[in-house]
Homo-oligomer: A and B are copies of this chain.
Amino acid sequence: VDIAITLYDGFTALDAVGPYEVLGRLPDARITFVATRPGPIRTDQASLALVAEASLAETSRPDLVLVPGGPGRLAGEGHDELVEWLRRVDAITTWTTSVCTGALFLAAAGLLTGRSATTHWSAREELAAYGAAVSEQRVVRDGKYVTAAGVSAGIDMALTLAGILSGDRTAQAIQLGIEYDPQPPYRAGSPVTAPPEIVDFLRARAVNQASGTASAPM
């Protein structure tokens, strides 16, 4: 499986690295980090850069594409090229996927119109405005399009894809290998379970920043 994970300035690191950690352990997976131009690409927190190894132009035949989210999606530069590339490679991919607000790139490419999809909880209305049938599920599959909710949901999506691609036993071995037995110290990971004032605070922040990825601190 040739997997391309797209990077752009201001992407959210865990959106990309969570799935990388899972999918990279699949037998025969070859993952390439791609961007409009190869080289170090800064995450949204700026203190970390991941290295893109290939340009979009030289990446023409991925089997699986994964687009991470992040506030950088609104900054603009190179995004037309990414959206155009997604539209082009989607014609030959087996799977086209996203994490968090990465779904909005797929939507902008016209790939989610009329399809079930999900995104970061604070960006659901924006995704719906593209004509997607927005779901509140954490991982949503509609044909070859698989989308995950915010940031950490990419890990769950990648394990789901691992099971589809290589079977339950391999996916379980990967889960055990990364000791993914989550025990969050709080019950605040979704707008349904988090204290309402924290939901309101982050929602206001997301709107104010138009970042589409509500973040701390409060």
Contacts and interface: CB of A to CB of B under 8 A. Distances in A.
A182 B174 contact: no
Interface stretch (A47-55, A57-65, A74-82, A87-95): A47-55
A175 B186 contact: yes
Contacts of A142: none
Copy number in the complex reads 2
A150 B31 CA distance: 22
Contacts of A31: 45, 47-48
A185 interface: yes
Interface string A158-175: 011001001011111111
B184 A163 contact: no
Interface residues of A, number: 75
A137 to B, nearest CB: 9
A26 interface: yes
A102 interface: no
A84 to B, nearest CB: 25
Contact of A166 (B169, B179, B180, B217): B217
B156 A182 contact: yes
A110 interface: no
A48 B26 contact: no
Contacts of A173: 188, 198, 201-202, 216-218
Interface of A: 12-14, 17-18, 20-21, 24-27, 30-33, 40, 45, 47-51, 53, 100, 120-121, 138-139, 149-153, 155-156, 159-160, 163, 166, 168-186, 188-191, 193-195, 198-199, 201-202, 213-218
Closest 6 CB pairs of A and B: A150-B179, A181-B189, A172-B188, A182-B182, A14-B21, A151-B178
